[in-house]
Structure 1
Amino acid sequence: MATSSSRSCLQYLLHLAHDNLDFRLPEIRSLLGLRAKPFHPSENFNEQSPFWCLNSLSEEDVRSVMARSVCSKSAFELWGHGHTHSELRTSLLNYPSEKMSPYMHKESTYKIDICSFNKTLLFADRIKKIDALEYLPFEGAVSLTSPQHTFCLLEDYGTDPNNIPEHPNYIYFGRWIADGQRELIQSFSVKNRHFIGNTSMNAGLSFIMANHAKVKENDLVFDPFVGTGSLLVACSHFGAYVCGTDIDYNTIHGKGRSSRKNQKWRGPDENIRANLRQYGTEKMYVDVMVSDASKPVWRNAALFDAIITDPPYGIRESTRKTGSNKDITKPPDGTYTESHVPVSQVYHLSDIFSDLLNFSAHHLLMGGRLVYWLPVYRPEYSDEMIPGHPCLRQISNCEQALSSHTSRRLITMEKIKEPEELDGFTHLSDPRSSPYQGHNTFREKYFSGQNKRSSKEDARSAVDGK
């Protein structure tokens, strides 16, 4: 086998899943960033394509990315490519033989797979395509069950399922390096989770958020709106110590009504710790506690490597904080009785995100990342509505559509400097602060759009019924 040094700085091909398109590039960039490697695509790079050619990487870099990525299906050492099979043949024959020979000698076993995007090939056609590669100097024996080396012919038939060409738009051939972590989406599915809630984050997005945050082994990760702990589960899988807070006492303590179908009340061991225990990462669980995100309860110090969260939008979970606009009489000694239940009031979305950014600026370690979801009303959205902070630099902004008129955007920010006295108030004088206040009416706009859609559907039903 060739040494790792001789295998470095080749061209590699990533085959990406064709979903969550907005999230793929930030994920790959972040995972390369964990190894201090740049993202250097080929000249004809197309972000929407399922195939990306990357330069200036080693095989170890690629394996490291694949060990984390849930947006990637597989990665290959690229040996040849072209618009036609004729161009592919020329490209392959020009590939240095000394780079091929370690995988093609007589003592080796191999197999060739066919992968076509946007077109299903008949078995007979797949065999023909494999036979057409007879010009490659394979000397080893074919093994379909346990080959030492796997090769793949990948054909790209475009992204339009309604306009599939007869011949592929582009063709690649390469040696398989590693698969991505797509299986995590199923193995960590919320459907099989021990403890769930109405807003539990699905597994795929949880792992994407952890990757955007560059969560790594022995990091300390915090979620200030922890809910049922889906984000803690994902981060603990990557070896991080996790903790969180939430204002909902019942959720933190696993009490009250269950969100599971055909189950009225939560069981005695339905809690966040049990979720981590389910996946074998209980040792990474620091703790969770009942706390109001609008109140300062942490000592003034940089504590966390990453802050990852999904704040409430006021749709399925209310946006509340402790406090009241009314005058409340306290007991004479200034203490509350044991049975006291704090009064709550509306926690405006603009205040939630302002507090979140200020908290992150003070409590993230330098270079640490904040990853959070921001709900937006699509007809009024502009990039200026993304809240900013002088201590945090925006890294990425990815959209997930919720409906025709609403979406949420996954915002990733990185701490670039320590906060100064006036930094927490800078956003108030920022001209972006005005459109940002529009987030406070997201709930009304969300349900307004729902009502309009329902009215249109009722009108169509009435017409169809005539």
Structure 2
Amino acid sequence: MTEVSPYNRLNELTAKEWLPFTKTWFIHNPPPRKKDEILHPAKYPENLIEDFIRFFTKRDAVVFDPFLGTGSTLVACYNTQRNGIGIELQKKYADIANERIKKVESQTQLTEKGVEKPCKQLVLKDDSSRLDYIWKQYALPNIDFVITSPPYGPMLNKKGLASQEREDKGLDTKYSDDPEDLGNAEGYDDFLTKLVSIFVKLKPYVKEGAYLVVILQNYMDKGEYKMLAWDFAREMAHHYQLRGERIWCQNNKTLFPYGYKYSFVPNVHHHYCLIFKKTEEVKE
């Protein structure tokens, strides 16, 4: 089928476009980062986000990212004609996000009919743990779709070959030293609890039936394999319906000789794109 079904309530994809997205794994190798993006220790690619936005929304929808970073989600929103809202705690990253949005907004975007149709992108320098205050302060609309890659907390604070490589280049290896930064939570359990609590606070502002995609990675820490994605999914399932996962694989990353000659230590080159849905079926 080459036409969008009039009964398609979720998106604007044809059946041929819809089907490949339902596969539970995919390979995506991000292009090299630009100079203003490489400072951030965990930036994710716009074209990957665009695929999720196109599947879970229609044009003019409102998309939200509670951990905006350097603004990739809002760039993806602009490219797909969606309205985006993003919250970023650190000023240096919020400033980069604003500059990136200005650059894409300086380019004319046309609809299929050739009529200019701008969409709004809003960068808020704030703390996502204060969602109730933020929503009232800015009179924000309810959300059609959430997509984010949260700060990985203890994962970024551990030392290793990858972090040393960034440090040698003068790049950030963690988000900040700010005690309010989720990435500086006191240990794994504290980080997980605080992360889930943000999505619980967000729930009143998410439309019924809307989807959320949270991109996380399991990781090795001091000889123990932390099942962050799995633990997060289990806790989130008390508040949202877990609909599945898409495993994002990268096959162009550097392989480091972790554990060489004495033990198996994995090079973790995949992320879990966990898919949740707000539904009345989940009672808290």
The TM tier, using the shorter chain, reads 0.5 to 0.7
In structure 1, the residue matched to 2:14 is 61
Q: 2:175 aligns with which of 318, 321, 339?
A: 318
- The 3-state SS of whatever aligns with 2:218 is strand
Q: 2:50 aligns with which of 204, 207, 228?
A: 207
- CA 1:321–1:410: 2 relative to 1, 3 Å: farther
C-alpha displacement of 1:349: 2.9
Kindly provide the amino acid, as one letter, of the partner of residue 289 in structure 1: L
C-alpha displacement of 1:189: 5.3
1:196 aligns with 2:196: no
Q: 2:248 aligns with which of 392, 396, 400?
A: 400
In structure 1, the residue matched to 2:144 is 305
Write out per-residue CA displacement over residues 317-362 of structure 1, whole angstroms, 9 at most, x where no aligned residue: 3377655xxxxxxxxxxxxxxxxxxx99923430343123213322
1:293 aligns with 2:128: yes
1:277 aligns with 2:80: no
Say if 1:375 and 1:408, in contact at 8 Å, map to a contact too: yes
1:219 aligns with 2:61: yes
Looking at structure 1, the residues matched to 93 and 87 of structure 2 have their Cα atoms a distance apart, in angstroms, of 10
Say if 1:368 and 1:415, in contact at 8 Å, map to a contact too: yes
Gaps of at least 5 residues in structure 1 are 1-7, 13-30, 38-59, 73-184, 256-269, 324-342, 424-466
Q: CA RMSD in A?
A: 4.3
Gaps of at least 5 residues in structure 2 are 110-116, 157-172, 256-265
Say if 2:71 and 2:94, in contact at 8 Å, map to a contact too: no
Looking at structure 1, the residues matched to 179 and 205 of structure 2 have their Cα atoms a distance apart, in angstroms, of 22
Looking at structure 2, the residues matched to 417 and 71 of structure 1 have their Cα atoms a distance apart, in angstroms, of 24
In structure 2, the residue matched to 1:435 is none
Looking at structure 2, the residues matched to 418 and 321 of structure 1 have their Cα atoms a distance apart, in angstroms, of 38
Kindly provide the amino acid, as one letter, of the partner of residue 66 in structure 2: P
Larger Cα Rg: Structure 1 or Structure 2?
Answer: 1
What's the TM-score, normalizing by structure 1?
Answer: 0.39
C-alpha displacement of 1:228: 1.4
C-alpha displacement of 1:383: 7.8
- Bigger relative CO (Cα 8 Å, ≥ 6 apart): 2
C-alpha displacement of 1:231: 1.5
Which runs of at least 4 in structure 1 moved beyond 6 Å after TM superposition?
Answer: 31-34, 69-72
C-alpha displacement of 1:309: 0.9
Say if 1:225 and 1:244, in contact at 8 Å, map to a contact too: yes
Say if 2:63 and 2:82, in contact at 8 Å, map to a contact too: yes
Write out per-residue CA displacement over residues 52-96 of structure 1, whole angstroms, 9 at most, x where no aligned residue: xxxxxxxx9336649xx7899xxxxxxxxxxxxxxxxxxxxxxxx
Kindly provide the amino acid, as one letter, of the partner of residue 287 in structure 1: L
Instruction: Give the paired residue count.
Output: 222
In structure 1, the residue matched to 2:93 is 251
In structure 2, the residue matched to 1:448 is none
In structure 2, the residue matched to 1:410 is 273
Kindly provide the amino acid, as one letter, of the partner of residue 318 in structure 1: Y
Say if 2:73 and 2:84, in contact at 8 Å, map to a contact too: no
Higher fraction of strand:
1
Say if 1:305 and 1:364, in contact at 8 Å, map to a contact too: yes
In structure 2, the residue matched to 1:234 is 76
1:35 aligns with 2:11: no
Looking at structure 1, the residues matched to 71 and 7 of structure 2 have their Cα atoms a distance apart, in angstroms, of 24
